[in-house]
Amino acid sequence: MKSTAGHHKGVPFLLAALSALGPFSIDAYLPSFRDIGHHFGASPLVVQQTITAYLLPFGAMTLFHGALSDSFGRRRVTLIMVAIFVLASIGCMCAWSIESLISFRVLQGLSAGGGMIIGRAMVRDLFDGIEAQRLMSQIAVVFAIAPALGPIVGGWLQMAVGWRAVFGFLVVFSALVWLACWKALPETLPHANRQPLHPLHLLRGYWGALSSIQFVTLAVTLTLNFSAVFVYIVSAPAFIFGILRRQETEFFWLFGPITAGMMLGTALAGRLAGRLSSARILTSAYGLMFASALGNFVFSLTHPPSLPWSIVPLFFYVVGSAMGMPTLTIMALDIFPHRRGLASSCQGFIQTSGNTIITAVAAPALWSSALYLSMGMLGIFLTSGVALLAYSLLSRASRKRLPIRTPG
């Protein structure tokens, strides 16, 4: 029998803090892009590669965080990964060239995803059904604060001290998270339930997950669901500085509404869990996302960029995205109930791979105008809808709402 939420009141906040390492690592230093470029004599495209250098190893390691925690326990792997992140952040703060900064960003990427990946598995270790869905929503509400606080704090630090102070903030935050985990993070995976860490066993597990069409279509749905707005996040310097003509301390115009939308959407998801079916929640969420993405495109086509109207559709889109995300996440993890850590890793790998493509290819091609960004958002969302439709058709064809397979 699994726990009830009352037995682990502090766990949602601790897991959310772990998950926040990822967005803080991307968002907090965005206001410093111009300063980093000037300091190292690097072009905007070269500075942009500090994000790509972070996301590539982040995506690769998502395949291993969950599997390692399945073998050695959730707590031990989490503590090791956060410790590595602290050291990598110190390296970024002390970087002596753009190449050294990129190198330490790689090390950040290798370690930052552990909290997010292992946290999902811990939720399913502790809770079942509606309780798990509600807890996932609570974590997402706390986690949603990071994308707004990161650029705001980063902008203030940039204006007051400079770009190194932003990475200093990451050092302090991650060190505090490590201390909190050391004192309060429970071990949620009993020794009897751990899986051997053998290469062939892992390969069978990965093949079982990544060859499951239903799992992959759900993971792609989740990826594109968020990638539609992620293209704005990684384009934030161009969007804020170039399109909206704002300053380093005004990134809240973009990240404030996005965060508010995520908090509202995840709060709604938690309230609706158990009251509406998963199908009805997803229908409502995707209806809102479609209306928002289409409205954003129409406004950008017919009007010049302006505040707040260039931002309002993003708020409503994120409300819909956050409403559907907990349901989609639970559905994906429950396809493999005996290897949720590995399934969470594969899900994270697909998501991060998609975000890396957005960062390296799509964003630079779109960030020159508000119209191009809105077209990208609408196109990515429509592809997400096609992936969700494909999953629904596959589920109906197999006459099972949640088909169960065990990888490996």
Domain ranges in the chain are 9-187+197-398
Q: Which phi and psi (to 5°) does residue 200 adopt? A: -65, -40
pLDDT of residue 404: 46
* CATH fold for the domain made of 9-187+197-398: Growth Hormone; Chain: A; (1.20.1250)
Q: What is the DSSP string of 193-246?
A: G-----HHHHHHHHHHHHT-HHHHHHHHHHHHHHHHHHHHHHTHHIIIIIIS--
Residue 239 has pLDDT above 70, yes or no: yes
pTM > 0.85: yes or no = no
Residues 6+ apart with CB under 8 A from 406: 208, 336, 337, 338, 339
Q: In the prediction, which pLDDT does 276 show?
A: 80
Burial of residue 374 (CB within 10 Å: 0-12, 13-18, 19+) is buried
Q: Which two tokens stand for residue 361?
A: 């290819």
Tokens 């809770």 sit on residue: 127
Task: State pLDDT tens for residues 87-120.
Answer: 999 999 999 999 999 999 999 999 988 877 787 7
More reliable by pLDDT, 346 or 140: 346
- Give the pLDDT confidence of 355-408 residue by residue, as tens digits: 778 877 888 888 889 999 999 999 999 999 999 998 888 877 775 554 444 444
